[in-house]
Amino acid sequence: MSPLEFNILSIALFCIGIVGVISRRNIFVIYMSVELMLNAINLILAAFSKTNGNMNASAIALLMMAVIAAEAGVFLAIIMQLYRNKKSIDSNDHTSLSQKEFS
């Protein structure tokens, strides 16, 4: 086990998250992809912490875990409100903030 393997794994996880964000239209899949990207950052921070030999990067990872929990709560509330508004979880249907008219 070297840090390079952990870093490659977290890069793969981050890229899978980006692919999920830009290629799917389901809001839930977009939400879970964003969570996967945040977890990839957590993983690379833990690997840096062991590489440096002190706990500072792990402290950042712990603080980011709180950010992940806050983001999950707000994002799920937004998803429920969007679904209550239009009865759809397709991201192409929710264009009420855009200035152009998509039809």
Partner 1 sequence: MLLENSIFALLAIFLLIGSITVIWAESIIYSAFGFLTALIAVAGLFALLNNSFLFLAQLMVSVGAVVVLTLIVIMTMNLKDKNMPKEPYKNIWIVFSSLLLIPFAIMLYKGVSKIGNFKEIKENFGDIKSMGEALFNNWILPFEIVSVLLLSALVGAIIIGRKELYR
Residues 5-64 interacting with partner 1 (rule: CB under 8 A): 5-9, 11-20, 22-26, 28-29, 31-33, 35-36, 39, 42-44, 46-47, 49-56, 58-63
The reply to whether 81 sits near partner 1 by the rule CB under 8 A is yes
State the nearest-atom distance from the C-beta of 103 to partner 1, in Å. 15
State the nearest-atom distance from the C-beta of 95 to partner 1, in Å. 14
Q: What is the largest CA-CA distance in the chain?
A: 55
State the nearest-atom distance from the C-beta of 37 to partner 1, in Å. 10
